[in-house]
């Protein structure tokens, strides 16, 4: 029911919020804002949330939660503790969580390598920035309980969320070199949408498209077809 001011009445708001609590097991403040004034947005957001976080596609349940953990740490999204529980529920260990923290720390430091590439590469000709960055990731993973392929897709999600285009390009190339499936790359990249916004996926898609166009990655026919289409951005 709608009240005189055009907003849902108290009973309708309570009913919506109880439905959310039953579905997810918890209730966040944004749900109250939407239930009390923007119920159509709440319905649309629920569909998007299910598509992003609950639908099985290319990543395994554990891979998806590992990538989520990395993105939430990178974005400093402390409210995402339900993903900590899901990480545990899908088999995540403290050792893997520690590896995740280290990968995020590397990702945050990738700007140093991007600076080298953009400004000082001529002064360090024997030290290609992209190779140095990728080697740093491999060194970090030596003896780690996280395989390189999973580390690369987690870093792709983090760089997409942080709008770090140079490092994202290096990671996409590294993922192809490590035989990571394009579906996994795309799904990891898409997870950045929830905490960081759709514009991050637009930017990340642009980076990937340009790599395909430049033949820097061996894209599959479907991805080549996308890259060859005219774009406004």
Question: Tens-digit pLDDT profile for the chain (233 aa)?
Answer: 666 578 999 999 999 999 999 988 888 899 999 999 999 999 998 998 888 878 889 999 999 999 999 999 999 999 888 899 999 999 999 999 999 999 999 999 999 999 999 999 999 999 999 999 999 999 999 999 999 999 999 999 999 999 999 999 999 999 999 999 999 999 999 999 999 999 999 999 999 999 999 999 999 999 999 999 987 56
What is the enclosing helix (H) or strand (E) of 52?
A: none
Q: Residue written as tokens 């439905």?
A: 19
Question: CA 45: distance to chain centroid?
Answer: 17
pLDDT at 112: 96
Which residue is it, tokens 């140093």? 112
pTM over the 0.75 mark: yes
Which pLDDT belongs to residue 4? Answer: 58
Q: Give 8's strand partners.
A: 2
Question: Half-sphere exposure (CA, 13 Å, Cβ side) for 176?
Answer: 15
The closest of 167, 172, 135, 169 to 152, measured between CA atoms, is 172
User: Which residues have CB under 8 Å from 91's CB, separation 6+?
Assistant: 62
Q: What number of other Cβ atoms are within 10 A of residue 47's Cβ? A: 9
Rounded Cα distance, 42 and 154, in Å: 28
């Amino acid at each position: 029911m709608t009240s005189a001011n055009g907003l849902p009445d108290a009973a309708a708001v309570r009913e919506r919020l109880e439905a959310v609590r039953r579905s997810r097991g918890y209730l966040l403040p944004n749900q109250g804002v939407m239930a009390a004034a923007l119920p159509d947005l709440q319905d649309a957001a629920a569909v998007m949330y299910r598509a992003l976080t609950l639908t099985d596609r290319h990543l395994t349940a554990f891979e998806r939660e590992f990538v989520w953990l990395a993105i939430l740490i990178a974005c400093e999204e402390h409210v995402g503790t339900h993903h900590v529980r899901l990480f545990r529920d899908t088999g995540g260990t403290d050792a893997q969580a520690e590896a995740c923290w280290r990968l995020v720390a590397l990702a945050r430091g990738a700007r140093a390598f991007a600076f080298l590439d953009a400004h000082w590469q001529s002064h360090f000709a024997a030290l290609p920035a992209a190779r140095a960055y990728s080697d740093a990731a491999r060194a970090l993973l030596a003896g780690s309980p996280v395989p390189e392929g999973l580390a690369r897709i987690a870093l792709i999600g983090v760089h997409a969320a942080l709008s770090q285009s140079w490092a994202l390009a290096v990671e996409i190339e590294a993922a192809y070199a490590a035989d990571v499936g394009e579906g996994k790359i795309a799904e990891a990249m898409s997870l950045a949408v929830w905490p960081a916004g759709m514009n991050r996926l637009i930017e990340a898609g642009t980076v990937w498209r340009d790599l395909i166009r430049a033949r820097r990655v061996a894209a599959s026919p479907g991805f080549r077809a996308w890259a060859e289409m005219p774009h406004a951005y």
